[in-house]
Amino acid sequence: MDQGAFHMSDHEPEARLARLSPAQAEALEQALSRLSDPDSPPRKIASAKSGLPVFLLPLAEFGLTSAQLIRLADLVPADFPFDHRQIYFDFRLERWIKHIEPPTVSECLEEFLENSETPEQGMAYLEGQWNAFLRRHGSP
């Protein structure tokens, strides 16, 4: 394999775990062990067996200690998933926040049509906005 090329397999959790330093691997293992302790809340135990290892991996790669990993895992609200694709930690606010997805173009268009007095007015407004957009971006 070419060492300089991008390989998707290099970014799989198993490959990333193999690249952890001994201190990072120990911190992750200690945190997972502590979070799967029978005295932990049931949600943490269940998550420790499923998504929690992958959730904590980038934090361990960053170099956080086991105590810091445990604290961050404990701060995840009960109704939040252990999934960085859906939540992030705001260090200023010291809390986990859900990612906000912007509305799709379709949702915006539907809102314009639903809030216009008549469908014709809504459609005329949308066509005007679309044509203005095309003009701004160099289309005739």
CB 51 within 8 A of CB 76: no
- In which residue are the tokens 């906000």 written? 100
The pLDDT of residue 44 is 57
The pLDDT of residue 28 is 96
Tell me the pTM: 0.63
Q: How many residues does the chain have?
A: 140
The pLDDT of residue 10 is 79
The pLDDT of residue 110 is 81
Per-residue pLDDT of the chain (140 residues; tens, 9 = 90+): 566 777 787 788 889 999 999 999 999 999 999 988 777 666 655 655 568 899 999 999 999 999 999 999 999 998 888 999 899 999 899 999 998 877 787 887 788 778 888 888 888 888 888 888 888 887 76
CA distances in angstroms from 112 to 92, 108, 115, 131, 140, listed in the order given: 36, 6, 5, 16, 24
